[in-house]
């Protein structure tokens, strides 16, 4: 579940030039990047043009305050440059994630890391210069020149962040260091996807390599002994690099703490949330309310133990489906279900989704050297790209529906916003994706023909509530703890992170209450979570789960009354033009209150009640 993120900047400039990529026969399951750049040469030409433009951008320094027209011209120019940079990134990042082994793919992201740093350094003066103009002068310029309207949101953010912006020289220095600062995430990616030698285990008579991608599949195996073997193999591989992961993640945490301090934020979490104008109280409410709901999570685990007929419960018993089901969902069937499930979102949504699903916009199948997981990314004005590792199972259908939730958010925002406000805040991003997942569950439940199918789907929904709500909140707490430790002057080694993680695993899974035994060898799991390299990102899965449950329930309940649906779609169409917490409030949802989190926990209790009733009636 990684997405929409502006890709992590690459480590460093890797040597030598770029080579032409051989054109292969079009494959409907492999995305077509030619709308982004027709060839590697075209990409490189655009990159060189972007480098050549940097001195021109730097020359704008000192001109923004002259008059309204100069401010508009400067901002327009920067906007165009930023748009090109984003396009260059999408191409480079897309290619690397489809095959991390190829040196030219690594080179491209390396070159982009370099360029992003240089771009940042060449334009670091912009925010301080606008802040020096002051709110009054900026407002007068906006009144005088209608062309500044599309930059209004950016101007507001720049002025809002004034207390946390340093002088031009310091900002330039920080920007120039960006490729160095992002090397930790890149090092983790290369270690996990390329350098690590993953062992094979025997499953159903075959040798199966348990790596970053296949682990997700095999941990669901119905045979407990196989699951244990998969867990032992996977986590012992990660555990061998505890110190290395300790340095990569520990440094990323330290970077967040240092940056927050430099920018005069009270804490790293406050600094991160400030970017989207999310109050820290939202984060704290989420963690506090989730902690209160742990008995419901433990109730689910007990039901799981009963349904799987296990004498006790271990961490490797979380993933197998509660009800055995062999239905296969090849990609075309997954696409059909995505359309059927999102019917409540109306005809425009349907038409657009059908259109994008018909294009070669997805990288569908797993492959050697390909990154794990799934993501969506977009270039303004083009069909969004969706990256998958489709396994023909129901989870893969959920993932496709999720990623196209992001994709359709991108489509709707692009159709209704100029480039400057099209890109939506991360706080909203997961809502669009998870609402679609909830809609899929609802659709599948109405279609369920047997008690078994119903139990399977309810079980799957419980799993999503565990994985997207409780687990992500546990991650969010891990981030709070690790950042707190560094803020308190503690040194954060891999071993220390394992200790912190172990404590949280035990709390959330009811180790002390005898619900689930947490074996210490699985406490290395933190090393497996790439999202930790985007500080304070994952809490948004949990807040989004709560918001998605709220919206999907109301949209479906409203039936032919389209008002509710349009209120929700307005949030998507607004892109980045409004502050997210306010935007949700306008749609009837207060993320600061306990209510949305309690609603998730109530839904979970209701599912458990329903499943227990179904089981009792057998």
Token representation of residue 427: 């706080």
CB of 155 to Zn ion, least distance (A): 29
CB of 373 to Zn ion, least distance (A): 10
Report the first-to-last Cα separation within the chain, whole angstroms. 36
Identity of the residue, 133 or 413, whose beta carbon is nearer to Zn ion in the bound complex: 413
The answer to whether the CB of 70 falls within 8 A of the CB of 59 is: no
The secondary structure element, H or E, covering residue 387 is strand 385-387
d(CA 217, CA 119): 41
Q: Binding marks (x or -) toward Zn ion, 2..21, rule CB under 5 A?
A: -x------------------
From the candidates 107, 129, 289, 403, which is the catalytic residue? 403
φ, ψ of residue 208 in degrees (nearest 5): -125, 125
d(CA 431, CA 576): 14
Identity of the residue, 377 or 604, whose beta carbon is nearer to Zn ion in the bound complex: 377
d(CA 137, CA 64): 11
CB of 557 to Zn ion, least distance (A): 25
d(CA 545, CA 524): 26
Kindly state the number of chain residues that form the binding site for Zn ion, as judged by CB under 5 A. 4
φ, ψ of residue 207 in degrees (nearest 5): -80, 120
Nearest position to Zn ion, beta carbon: 3
Q: At what angle do helices 168-176 and 242-262 cross, to 10 degrees?
A: 170
Within residues 433-472, the interface with Zn ion by CB under 5 A covers 433
CB of 513 to Zn ion, least distance (A): 32
d(CA 532, CA 523): 15
Which region among 1-9, 290-298, 301-309, 478-486 touches Zn ion (by CB under 5 A)? 1-9
Is the torsion defined by CA of 127, 133, 134, 138 positive or negative? negative
φ, ψ of residue 275 in degrees (nearest 5): -60, -35
CB of 186 to Zn ion, least distance (A): 21
Identity of the residue, 256 or 540, whose beta carbon is nearer to Zn ion in the bound complex: 540
d(CA 160, CA 319): 44
CB of 1 to Zn ion, least distance (A): 5
Pairing status of strand 385-387 against strand 362-363: parallel
Measured CA distances, 251 to 148, 340, 399, 492 (Å): 40, 45, 31, 9
CB of 607 to Zn ion, least distance (A): 22
Identity of the residue, 323 or 433, whose beta carbon is nearer to Zn ion in the bound complex: 433
Q: Where are the alpha helices (DSSP H) in 263-375?
A: 268-274, 280-292, 294-307, 331-341, 347-357
d(CA 364, CA 559): 33
Identity of the residue, 218 or 537, whose beta carbon is nearer to Zn ion in the bound complex: 537
Within residues 384-443, the interface with Zn ion by CB under 5 A covers 430, 433
Is 403 an annotated catalytic residue?
yes
Identity of the residue, 3 or 370, whose beta carbon is nearer to Zn ion in the bound complex: 3
CB of 474 to Zn ion, least distance (A): 18
| Residues near Zn ion, by CB under 5 A | 1, 3, 430, 433
Which residues are catalytic, by number?
403
């Amino acid at each position: 579940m990684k997405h929409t993120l502006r890709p992590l900047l690459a480590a460093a400039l890797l040597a030598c030039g770029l080579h032409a990529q051989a054109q292969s026969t079009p494959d409907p399951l492999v995305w077509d990047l030619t709308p982004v750049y027709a060839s590697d040469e075209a990409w490189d030409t655009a990159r060189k043009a972007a480098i050549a433009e940097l001195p021109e951008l730097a020359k704008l320094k000192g001109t923004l305050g002259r008059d309204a027209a100069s401010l508009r011209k400067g901002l327009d120019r920067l906007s165009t440059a930023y748009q090109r940079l984003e396009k260059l990134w999408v191409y480079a990042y897309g290619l690397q994630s489809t095959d991390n082994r190829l040196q030219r793919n690594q080179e491209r992201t390396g070159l982009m890391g370099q360029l992003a740093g240089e771009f940042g350094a060449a334009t670091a003066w912009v925010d301080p210069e606008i802040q020096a103009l002051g709110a009054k002068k900026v407002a007068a310029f906006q009144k005088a020149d209608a062309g500044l309207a599309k930059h209004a949101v950016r101007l507001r953010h720049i002025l809002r962040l004034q207390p946390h912006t340093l002088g031009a020289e310091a900002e330039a220095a920080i920007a120039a260091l960006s490729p160095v600062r992002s090397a930790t995430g890149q090092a983790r990616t290369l270690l996990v996807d390329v350098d690590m030698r993953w062992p094979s285990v025997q499953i159903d008579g075959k040798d199966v390599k348990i790596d970053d991608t296949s682990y997700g599949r095999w941990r669901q195996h119905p045979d407990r002994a196989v699951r244990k073997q998969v867990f032992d193999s996977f986590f012992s591989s990660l555990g061998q690099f505890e110190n290395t992961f300790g340095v990569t993640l520990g440094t990323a945490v330290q970077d967040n703490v240092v940056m927050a301090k430099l920018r005069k934020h009270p804490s790293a979490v406050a600094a991160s949330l400030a970017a989207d104008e999310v109050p820290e109280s939202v984060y704290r409410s989420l963690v506090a309310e989730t902690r209160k709901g742990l008995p419901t999570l433990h109730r689910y685990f007990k039901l799981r133990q009963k349904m799987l007929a296990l004498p006790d419960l271990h961490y490797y018993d979380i993933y197998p489906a509660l009800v055995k089901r062999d239905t296969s969902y090849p990609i075309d069937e997954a696409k059909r279900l995505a359309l059927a499930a999102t019917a409540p979102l109306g005809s425009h949504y349907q038409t657009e989704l059908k259109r994008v699903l018909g294009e070669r916009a997805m990288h569908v199948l797993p492959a050697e050297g390909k990154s794990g997981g799934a993501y969506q990314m977009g270039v303004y004005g083009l069909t969004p790209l969706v990256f998958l590792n489709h396994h023909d199972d129901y989870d893969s259908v959920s993932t496709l529906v999720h990623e196209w939730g992001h994709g359709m958010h991108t489509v709707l925002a692009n159709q209704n916003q100029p480039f400057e406000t099209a890109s939506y805040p991360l706080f909203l991003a997961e809502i669009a994706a998870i609402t679609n997942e909830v809609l899929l569950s609802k659709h599948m439940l109405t279609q369920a023909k047997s008690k078994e199918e119903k139990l399977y789907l309810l079980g799957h929904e419980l799993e999503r509530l565990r994985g997207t709500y409780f687990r992500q909140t546990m991650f969010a707490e891990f981030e709070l703890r690790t950042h707190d430790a560094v803020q308190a002057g503690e040194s954060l080694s891999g071993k220390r992170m394992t200790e912190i993680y172990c404590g949280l695993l035990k709390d959330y899974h009811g180790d002390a209450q005898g619900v689930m035994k947490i074996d210490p060898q699985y406490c290395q799991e933190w090393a497996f979570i790439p999202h930790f390299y985007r500080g304070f990102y994952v809490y948004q899965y949990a807040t989004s789960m709560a918001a998605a449950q709220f919206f999907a329930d109301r949209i479906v309940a409203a039936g032919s009354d389209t008002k509710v649906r349009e209120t929700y779609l307005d949030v998507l169409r607004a892109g980045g033009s409004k502050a997210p917490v306010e935007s949700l409030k306008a749609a009837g949802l207060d993320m600061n209150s306990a209510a949305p989190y309690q609603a998730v926990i109530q839904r979970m209790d209701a599912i458990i009640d329903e499943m227990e009733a179904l089981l009792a009636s057998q």
